[in-house]
Amino acid sequence: MNGNKQGTALITGASSGIGEAFARELGARNYDLVIIARRKDKLEELARELKNNYSVSVDVIVADLSTEKSIAQVEEYIKKVKNLDILINNAGFGTRGYFSDVSPEKSINMINVHVLAPTRFCRAALPCMIKRDQGSIINVSSLASFCPIPGNAIYNATKSYLNMFSRSIQSELKNYNIKVQALCPGFAYTGFHDTDEFKDFDRSSIPKWLWMFAQEVVEQSLKALSKNKVIFIPGIKNRILAGLLKIGGKLCP
Ligand SMILES: NC(=O)c1ccc[n+]([C@@H]2O[C@H](COP(=O)([O-])OP(=O)(O)OC[C@H]3O[C@@H](n4cnc5c(N)ncnc54)[C@H](OP(=O)(O)O)[C@@H]3O)[C@@H](O)[C@H]2O)c1
């Protein structure tokens, strides 16, 4: 554990899975935290635990990032943080079914959570990061961003957006000490596949060697931040798989 006091890290989707693992890791590294999600009880429990274990402050924001009201609330909050060192746009969810069958409302909600919120939070955070010439942004994307997968249209498209958006803003920031990463995990053991949407999904239908733990994803992501690589795929097996998906993507119509 690093004893030096760090700045602030703001993490969306911190009530479980990869976001929670980021909060634990950055708390241990002495970052003050702002943790955001819908489930207040989970966030408050995590905040209590981290404040007990480390000398950090933990602010909880209960927000549904599919709504304009919550996005605007978090956006305004970010503009006021003076020492935001790390912004992690991690909140996300999956749907199952063909685009023409999924309710338009679910698709719009996903676009809001995966695209609108991260875009507006980056825009809110960057002026201060640029002024301080310091900061990191991690936009949590997915291996699914590399290839069209039937039954995943909006998920694939929104995650692809995050890749191109991250690459584009990093190219605009090349003269600053600001790192942007699009983190592209493969299958990870989190709450992602525990929602109603995935009630008939069986984790064992995916080979065990393709799964990673959230903590591993987070450790590799933070380590990779120091390198100048925007698209980061945790896990060597996932990197091989990404290569195959890219080839598959080229073969798709
Ligand atoms: N697990 C995987 O296999 C996998 C693979 C590739 C990419 N990813 C990506 O990793 C990211 C984190 O997911 P995870 O795997 O850690 O799943 P998870 O355990 O289900 O965590 C998702 C987080 O997002 C939050 N969230 C979802 N909808 C939200 C909304 N409308 N407003 C605010 N927060 C919301 C959830 O909190 P509340 O429910 O409390 O709001 C939760 O904290 C997602 O962007 C996902 O697409 C996951």
d(CA 114, CA 27): 24
pLDDT recorded at residue 197: 92
Q: What angle do CA 241, 233, 54 make, to 5 degrees?
A: 140
Nearest partner of 5 among 62, 85, 67, judged by Cα:
85
Distances (CA, A) of 123 to 34, 74, 75, 170: 17, 12, 9, 13
Q: How many angstroms does the Cα of residue 100 sit away from the middle of ligand 1?
A: 23
Please state the atom number of ligand 1 nearest to the C-alpha of residue 159: 47
Identified catalytic residue from 31, 54, 77, 155? 155
Q: Which protein residues are within 6 Å of ligand 1, measured from CB?
A: 13-19, 37-39, 42, 63-66, 90-93, 113, 140, 142, 185, 187-188, 190-192
User: For the chain, what's the residue count?
Assistant: 253
pLDDT recorded at residue 5: 79
pLDDT recorded at residue 1: 45
- The answer for residues whose C-beta is within 8 angstroms of residue 126's C-beta and 6 or more apart is 135, 169, 173, 178
pLDDT recorded at residue 252: 59
Rg from Cα positions in the chain: 17
Could you give the 3-state DSSP secondary structure of residue 242? helix
Please state the atom number of ligand 1 nearest to the C-alpha of residue 70: 32
Max CA separation in the chain (angstroms):
54
| Catalytic residue flag (residue 176) | no
pLDDT recorded at residue 251: 61
Are the C-beta atoms of 26 and 32 separated by less than 8 Å?
no
Top mutation candidate among 16, 22, 64, 237 for ligand 1, by most atoms within 8 Å of CB: 16
Are the C-beta atoms of 137 and 94 separated by less than 8 Å?
no
Q: How many angstroms does the Cα of residue 193 sit away from the middle of ligand 1?
A: 10
Q: What backbone torsions phi and psi does residue 3 show, to the nearest 5 degrees?
A: -80, -15
pLDDT recorded at residue 71: 98
Q: How many angstroms does the Cα of residue 19 sit away from the middle of ligand 1?
A: 7
The 10s digit of each residue's pLDDT in 135-171 is: 999 999 999 999 898 999 999 999 999 999 999 999 9
What are the b/e assignments for 3-41, b being 16+ CB within 10 Å? eeeebbbbbbbbbbbbbbbbbbbbbebbbbbbbbbeeee
**Strand locations in the chain (E):** 8-12, 32-37, 58-62, 84-89, 135-140, 178-183, 188-189, 212-213, 231-232
Q: How many angstroms does the Cα of residue 131 sit away from the middle of ligand 1?
A: 31
Both tokens of 159, joined, read 């995650």
Q: What is the DSSP letter of 197?
A: G
Query: The pTM is what?
Result: 0.96
- Which domains are seen in the chain, by residue range? 8-251 (3.40.50.720)
Low-confidence ranges of the chain (pLDDT < 70): 1-3, 248-253
